[in-house]
Chains A and B, each alone.
Chain A
């Protein structure tokens, strides 16, 4: 397995470097679907030049990146891309092993209904999944390795939270996964549960504090907190992107904007609790859904975030047969991706359409994404149901029954 991975990595790095040097980079770096104020290369360059002049990069309202990876920024993106691909590869391999162990255990415990043989995942099909995942990955945010070490994962999670605020919600699935690995049951009364959670929270909080203080010492000011976290939370920049915030807040009166900012931001964090209750046995799926929710509802989403959670689809290949609307949703997402640049052109260059058209496509794209995620969720629950109750359901009078989500 090492050779295909190495080949994929080499090809990916070459393509990335070639694209970076080509004239396409100029064109892509201006597209609103790809860059947001948080990850724009031009803003990074501006921040760097301000730093060179000895001025704090946060003094203008342009720069919103964090300062720790600053100093090795050029190679940073290439290296983190490659690292992320490798990390995902090993992570998924590890996940496969865990799933097998669990499956074997449950089989032995005879908890599965007899006729679900075809639902069981075989080693053959799972061998290629890590490769597919590594191939599909595009954008890089520091992803935390769940190698089983709580300490390392706490550090990486803190790094991710430090860069953009939303991965704080990934604390819960991470915690659940580590609890599962240690075979600690998730019960309110269990002492081990509280002890471990406390330890993990301390590690996480501690590393977050350390990183924030480190960036304070790098630039000798607390400027970066309002510039980065204040910026993410209060959404002052309303440049159109593929998210839902910009149009809404462009139309809104000042009086109500604080209330609606709170409502929109709570939307990102809110789903953690119900999902944690429902998916406490399946933390990896929980993490996938959480990443998807972050990508859809965050304040400045880009297609990179979409690519991140879509990279995980091959892991859930076995859910394919339970997905109900995958064709329609795939068509919606593909059509919206094509219509984004067309309507942008019509609005900005041809001067005839307006923001409503572009927002319509944004809305449709996001609705498509939401339906896609809920479809995967439904498929997952359905498979779990079939695993425990058997594949061919019969109603009380013996006719074939259909599983319907109400």
Chain B
């Protein structure tokens, strides 16, 4: 209890904290950013390895040869799809039954909160079709899922064909210990969400779906397949899921093992593996991949059907076949063999995948950074906030004076009310969602000028304890107290966010922490205002969009970027309402009010 009860030692510590505050803050921030950038370099990255014994030491020999059959199925599917205009449910049912599966359908409907411009839909009605391959000698307690999301056009028909051919092949084998569900969903992610909710008998997003007639036990793992053509040059794997959740690393290791075995070219974030780690090229490329993954994870979007499976504790991946301009192309047999191998190995699982990491970053497909190594980066950034908080506290600032007599209008409730308005109001305006969002956001900037005009109102008795004496330092104390409250609020939110979604926490910390630490009303006001606007959550979103495209080597022009930004805003609000993505409420109810508090500190009179 030394520090807590000994005033002498406390005073010494307080003096150190106050004197060295600025250098320590700068050092800590630089250390955080440098640590993050160093994550792509060899000492901090490790080679991936298979942790699950049940999947590691068993040999499988793939025997899939149904390439022609897959193509035939795909052709039929395309023809029927074009004829009926929607998913050819009857044809799918017939074909799945002829292959030997137990077929069920599920219909679902959802009225989106406002018209979705990107996918051009508002009232969504659809049907999912799924067939269950019952394991011949097991009790249907566990299952694996192969899902093929079908959008409005017949863009994923090759994947449907491959899925049906694989089903036919699997049906002839005797070694299955788990049931396999072959799922075709309509309206891609919405259908997947409807199926998952009905399968697990919950209702988290308000989608109306008919109950499922057939189930197959607890789902152990799922693979989503998207193929645009019948030859692929590489397979791209996506791991980031809803709210930044990631599947167990073992699933990715499994995929990578089979890519290596089959000689398939596999990419992560659309980038190949760097070959040489000795020169600077390799680490730079892995830094690019790492940044792409961080940006994707921070967005919190489900980047494929697998993202929705993760919420139900089902490890899942999405595989996309890319057909680019390379010379060497792989046909459906190669892809089918990789899938067959993966499913056979997953068949060997005795328990859910839990041995490997759930939190990791991927600088390359065969390298990963574990949570123990990347968390210090966020820790250093939050340390800056901690240092600032303790320096303000040691300077004698008290959080209760934030609503004191010098600025009587309570700023914290006003900022929170603006955040609430930003959360609730845009959805009410059906056709001008993004405009309303931007309008309320900008209106918040006018907040300090309005609240300062009110004269001092009746002092609520709840506020100050009786022995507080406002000395001549009163004008300074007001904004310092507000800054203290805002810093605590920001540190709390960033800490909680970093625990669940490191990328989002780090990104927001990297942009908001310097502004938060620097802001004070006595200083170059316009410069600080520009800094604060540039680090506001909306500007961070805009900047990260540009960065993301830049890293993908598809740079955006300003107008394109703005269009993409508006679309991203609409998608963010929509995804919150349809899949319960948390980015929108976090930014509007949490970070925006916090940012407004700093804006108020800046314009303190």
Contacts and interface: CB of A to CB of B under 8 A. Distances in A.
Contacts of A342: 496, 499-500
A342 B505 CA distance: 14
B199 to A, nearest CB: 17
B393 interface: yes
B321 interface: no
B444 interface: no
B245 A324 contact: no
B467 A346 contact: no
A170 B7 CA distance: 34
A259 B313 CA distance: 39
A331 interface: yes
The 7 closest A-B pairs by CB, nearest first: A352-B358, A125-B466, A128-B461, A320-B465, A342-B496, A351-B313, A325-B4
A404 to B, nearest CB: 7
A402 interface: yes
Interface string A336-374: 001100110110011110000000000000000001000
Interface in B1-57: 4-7
B579 interface: no
Contact of B245 (A125, A335, A343, A350): A350
B492 A335 contact: yes
Contacts of B358: 350-352
Nearest to B496: A342
B505 to A, nearest CB: 11
B500 A345 contact: yes
Contacts of B492: 334-335, 338
Interface residues of A, number: 33
Contacts of A122: 466
Nearest to B492: A338
A352 B467 contact: no
A338 B496 contact: yes
A192 B256 CA distance: 86
B363 interface: no
Interface string A129-154: 00110010000000000000000000
A343 B499 CA distance: 8
B499 A327 contact: no
Contact of B500 (A118, A335, A350): A350
B5 A351 contact: no
Interface string A23-65: 0000000000000000000000000000000000000000000
A321 B468 CA distance: 9
A317 interface: yes
Contacts of B393: 327
Contact of B5 (A327, A343, A345, A405): A405
B7 A404 contact: yes
Interface in B479-516: 488, 492, 495-496, 499-500
Given A320-B467, A351-B313, A346 B499 contact: yes
B546 interface: no
21 contacts: A118-B467, A125-B466, A131-B461, A132-B461, A317-B466, A320-B467, A324-B7, A325-B4, A327-B399, A334-B492, A338-B492, A338-B495, A338-B496, A339-B496, A339-B499, A342-B496, A343-B499, A350-B313, A350-B358, A402-B7, A404-B6
A345 B313 CA distance: 12
B359 interface: yes
A402 to B, nearest CB: 6
Nearest to A405: B5
Interface in A218-263: none
B4 A352 contact: no
A389 interface: no
B174 interface: no
Contacts of A317: 465-466
A404 B495 contact: no
Given A325-B4, A327-B393, A402-B7, A318 B466 contact: yes
Interface in B355-388: 358-359
Of B6, B462, B466, B500, chain A has the most CB atoms within 10 Å of the CB of B466
Interface in B317-355: 354
Given A320-B467, A324-B7, A342-B496, 5 more contacts: A327-B393, A335-B495, A339-B496, A339-B499, A351-B313
A328 B359 CA distance: 31
A115 to B, nearest CB: 15
B397 to A, nearest CB: 9
Interface string B274-314: 00000000000000000000000000000000000001010
Contacts of A343: 499
A345 B461 CA distance: 38
Interface string B84-110: 000000000000000000000000000
A52 B460 CA distance: 50
Contacts of A328: 4
Contacts of B465: 317, 320
Contacts of B313: 349-351
Contacts of A334: 488, 492
Given A317-B466, A342-B500, A345-B500, A404 B359 contact: no
B404 to A, nearest CB: 16
Contacts of A404: 5-7
A21 B399 CA distance: 35
Contacts of B398: 327
Nearest to A406: B5
Nearest to B352: A351
Contacts of B462: 132, 135
A321 B4 contact: no
Contacts of B466: 122, 125, 317-318
Nearest to A136: B462
Contacts of A325: 4
A254 B534 CA distance: 60
A352 B359 contact: yes
A132 B462 CA distance: 7
A324 B6 CA distance: 10
Contacts of B4: 324-325, 328, 371
A75 B496 CA distance: 38
A324 B5 contact: yes
Contacts of A132: 461-462
Interface in B436-480: 461-462, 465-467
